Structure 1
Amino acid sequence: MILLDIMKKLYIMPLIILLNFSLHAQVSGVGIETSNPQQKLHIASPTGTIRVDGLNSTNNVYNGGEADQTYPVYVDFNGDLTLKTSAYQNSDGGDAFSTGAINGTVSIIPIVQTDDGYETVEINSYTFTVSRNTILEVKYSISIEVFQDNLFTIIKDPYARNITNFFTIDTPTLLPTTRRYAPSSKCYFNRNDAATNPAALPDAATGFIYNSGTSYLMLTPGTHTLRFYGTVCSGTNNRATFVRFAGGPDSIFLRLY
């Protein structure tokens, strides 16, 4: 009988020790230089770091390899660490806004009510759905060309034109917003006065000018539409103006956090 009790204790004691160790591991996690880990993995050393060979310059094409440089680490949908940047929309060197999609041109017609020669056109839009509260990062660069008419005649009068680009966001819980995000403007001006010297060649340079902007927006769950616009003001004299948006290489970058 005594021998049986001793054998029972010998079986029970390792079981209790194993159970305590298992419970401690499940609750506390793994500690490095600590006996009381506060997370599943806890490095307690004040100089402790983590090295992942799969992210170094030898094994990862997204690591630039410079000895004195650092690179941001992201987490993908599987929870894997990665150096690769993933965006909702990224032109990445390509042309973001197709001129064919917007016909490439905006003819400026004076608005009688305001008498300021002001016009607005929607250039492009992006619609997407999010399932949680998130932050949307937006970066854009849109090309602009300014002419006197749709024959691409260079402006020779001495009046300035203001060209602005911006975007708006429609939310699922509010009416379409009129707030303008990341507005950017350029002023076109040609000193050559056609009234006093009509035979003179225009002294304005031809080519693309750009408006660029960046903004961050808080989004709630639901479907959102991002709309890009261009506006032109030809002044109170309503001077003839013809603007082509997105005729050159344009860029767009949208990322959800």
Structure 2
Amino acid sequence: MSKRKAGRVGFVAASLLCLLSLALPYGYGKEIDRWLQDNGGNWYVQPGTLSAEGQQNPLAYALYRNRFLADTGIETSSDAEQTGKQLLEKTEALAEAGALSQQAAKQARSILAEPGAQTSSKIENGFVSATYWVADEEDGTSEVVRASWQEKTGLVTFYSVSTDKETANPAEGMEAYKKYLGVDTLTDWTRSSGTEQSQYSWSQAGQLYLFCQWENGRTTLGVSSRELEAAP
């Protein structure tokens, strides 16, 4: 083989190797992402961040990982009937678990039965959010049911409904909410002083901040992944 031909062969081989090396991170990254969705609780995290106990809790790990992903989803108009059914399903699940009071659930059912609602939804990084908004043109008021949930499990990570008043004990609702989410297994939950209308709880092991409250005509509960200094 001539030196010129050998040089061409070597150049082609080197080019193919470079292209392959560029493609590997992309393919490997997709496989890692797929594996994380199925085995999130077993993935290694840099020491000093999420604890081993937190890593073993599927929801805590999913929320922790989501905290570092870019926001790419766009909330768009959705089918009112389908959105209403989804939010009603989440309402019933929370009420059955004892996380949402019967009073708030009744109000949500009433709102979701109202026709002419404006609705929207968004899917982003494995989580779904939806809004059902009904406006009263006569007095200029509006009533809203909003929720976010994990697409894979259906667990509600945020819920809010317009309510006239709330007489339920938020502390009881918060404990029921922990069990519903499956994060009650974390052993270091601490509770803030709170008030008769609001309660907050924090787990450093899971880097989870959980709240249950009635404020400004709205009953709200939710859980988010935050660092200790970022929690209110």
Larger Rg: 1
TM-score (norm. length: structure 1): 0.29
- Which has the larger strand fraction? 1
- Which has the larger helix fraction? 2
TM-score (norm. length: structure 2): 0.32
